[in-house]
Structure 1
Amino acid sequence: MNDTLRRLNDAGTAVWLDDLSRDRLDSGELARQVREGLITGVTTNPTIFQQAITTSSAYDSQLAGLARLGTPPADALRLLTCADVRRAADLLRRVHDASGGMDGMVSIEVAPGLAHDAAGTLAEARLLHWLVDRRNVLIKIPATDAGLSAAADCLAEGISVNVTLIFGLARYRQVLEAHLDGLERAAQAGLDVSRIASVASFFVSRVDAAVDARLDKRDTAQARAVRGRVAIANARLAYELHEQVRSGPRWQALTALGAQPQRPLWASTGVKDPAFDDTRYVVELIAPDTVNTMPAATLNAVIDHGEPRGDTVRARYEQSRSILDALAALGIDLTTITEELETDGIARFQDSWQQLTTDIRAALAAEVIPGA
């Protein structure tokens, strides 16, 4: 294992790769990263799959076979993505077993068009759970009102989940509540809660991009003092909420039954502003029982020149509150921004999924994968 990644791991932060493709699997690159201890998990999303499938010839033979069977585009899309996730899960199974079920996970997302359909999300989560059929897979569900209802129901049935597209503290409180509710119902049903995993994907860099765009219009000393600091402060206060829940009586009762904690997962950790250090959303968010999922470029940057400094979260709660207070004093409402980011995040994934479905439909008709 790289020394930088070892220091992250020793401080409690697991490193997952935010990328998956047939090319990465076929080339042995993903297997190498797992074997060398560079990553201990993988996350995916509709945009990742859209880019992977439409830019590679690796899916040609499978698509040709599906075309001959007359497979509908939506079904073909699920078969392609589940096949990749299943292979990745098999590569990570040894990590999963060695960690006692805490790590070695792969995420696959429900169709983003179901973001506001609780019953539809639950039905698709069950389907994906059955199709992939691997213990170390997380079903990824957006943190909308409907999504949280479905996530709690999944957990109650023993389906492990990754609750995603979390931007704000109020929404994160609801995620934590849904996790408790789901595990409590699972325990009441007699399920083994030690086998039910969950992470909460709290997005980081998109928050800075949205906030800084507003701060730049102010061009004052007060605005410049806050610029580039809000996303990390927001994430650190999310971790404080995580700690508060874990010290509460409901979680303590679940711990006594062997329940795994729902780890905060820092998502959107690729730096969007070139003025910032390209490892900042990793080295500034190190804390026990966390996950940082990185695009390949960020992972390579961390390996090359990242400088972990131990826990960079728990001693900074008051500083983080001061930063958010300063933002509010400038008349910028962070809650409004995070709500807009949630809506935009869902729309982006819906666009990617719709475009991918269109591309798959065309590929099936032509028996040729687009981009080949």
Structure 2
Amino acid sequence: MGTLVPLATRPLGPLPRAVADVTLWLDCRRTPPEAVARSFAEAARTVGDTLPPVADVTSAGRRTANGTTVAGPVHGPAQFRHLMRRLLSDAMAAPTPGPRDRPGGVAVEYSIPAVDALVNAGLDRIGGCEAKAMRFRAGVAGAHLLYDMLRHDLRSPGWARATARGIPAPYLLWSTAPGAGPDRGAEYAERCLFPGTAVALSPAALRTFVERGSVTGPTALDLVEARRVVGILDWFGIRLDTLVGAQAPTTG
């Protein structure tokens, strides 16, 4: 088994949103209500939207402060394909927006730390140095794969017809909490700044992200390395394609 190449990050420097075409979100879903106003005041000049506190963070049909619907989360390609088919079906069934209508967008959430936690658990059960070396690689690899899948989906005839009717195309939301401290949350964000996507960070992770200086351009898509990670996990019997939340990956 060869040495793994880290998936690409980007050069240091401030993040010009117009260049990277990435929107930062403030993830307050697990922030105490009394601390939300302070967190938003600190981040108001940095973020484009906010995920407000909710009683049940797993509930469907969640909306951001700006009215974007958050679908998912998905944890692997199979879940993503199923959700995209449903979103396209809903888009085709929706009435054509009028000239003054502003249909709300849909962000498909992919939880990077949740994927890492699920895969790490499977690797820990396997044990050994080679399995340990694969910890914390699955989440970012999956993000690269899903971004490529989304680009292909949105070029399909179905989505071309939907967007021609004025239905907004869905986009990916990379969430970096829970399960990731501020440093790892910021690192996840730095590795998933794909054009046309959004990155949600907890208040602490957002502060760390900004303090670290972050980036000057978008993440370079690296499907070769992502597929290599998938292949090695498959060798261990862990199927990233069929990974689902709240369930350990299939091993053996």
**What TM-score does the superposition give when structure 2 sets the normalisation length?**
0.78
> Is 1:289 paired with 2:212?
no
Shift in alpha-carbon separation, 1:8–1:209, aligned structure 2, 3 A: farther
Shift in alpha-carbon separation, 1:25–1:273, aligned structure 2, 3 A: closer
In structure 2, the partner of 1:318 is 224
> Is 1:12 paired with 2:21?
yes
> Is 1:304 paired with 2:211?
yes
In structure 1, the partner of 2:141 is 233
In structure 2, the partner of 1:267 is 175
Q: Deviations over 1:30-59 (max 9, x none)?
A: 24532xx2111011354xx48xxxxxxxxx
CA distance in 2, matches of 1:278, 1:245: 28
CA distance in 1, matches of 2:53, 2:246: 15
Residues 166 and 342 in structure 1, CA contact (< 8 A), matched pair in contact too: no
In structure 1, the partner of 2:67 is 137
CA distance in 2, matches of 1:217, 1:9: 44
Pick aligned residue for 2:84 from 162, 166, 176:
176
- Amino acid in the other structure paired with 2:231: D
Cα offset, 1:267, TM superposition: 1.3
In structure 2, the partner of 1:246 is 154
In structure 2, the partner of 1:33 is 43
Cα offset, 1:250, TM superposition: 1.3
Moved over 6 A (4+): none
In structure 2, the partner of 1:185 is 93
**RMSD over aligned Cα atoms:** 3.2
Where do residues 1-372 of structure 1 align in structure 2 (5 Å cutoff)? 6-7=15-16, 10-19=19-28, 22-24=33-35, 29-31=39-41, 33-34=43-44, 37-44=45-52, 46=54, 49=55, 112=59, 136-138=66-68, 161-186=69-94, 189-192=95-98, 195-269=103-177, 272=180, 277-308=184-215, 310-314=217-221, 316-335=222-241, 338-339=243-244, 341-342=245-246
- Amino acid in the other structure paired with 1:191: P
- Amino acid in the other structure paired with 1:190: T
User: What is the total number of aligned residue pairs between the two structures?
Assistant: 233
Cα offset, 1:179, TM superposition: 1.6
Greater mean deviation of Cα atoms: 199-208 or 12-21: 12-21
In structure 2, the partner of 1:141 is none
**What TM-score does the superposition give when structure 1 sets the normalisation length?**
0.55
Cα offset, 1:21, TM superposition: 5.4
Residues 246 and 252 in structure 1, CA contact (< 8 A), matched pair in contact too: yes
Residues 11 and 311 in structure 1, CA contact (< 8 A), matched pair in contact too: yes
Cα offset, 1:291, TM superposition: 0.5
Q: Deviations over 1:265-311 (max 9, x none)?
A: 0113456379x755221011111110101111110110111432623
- Amino acid in the other structure paired with 2:27: D
**Pair member with larger Rg:** 1
CA distance in 1, matches of 2:168, 2:52: 22
- Amino acid in the other structure paired with 1:296: P
Which has a greater percent of helix? Answer: 1
Shift in alpha-carbon separation, 1:185–1:285, aligned structure 2, 3 A: same
CA distance in 2, matches of 1:231, 1:292: 14
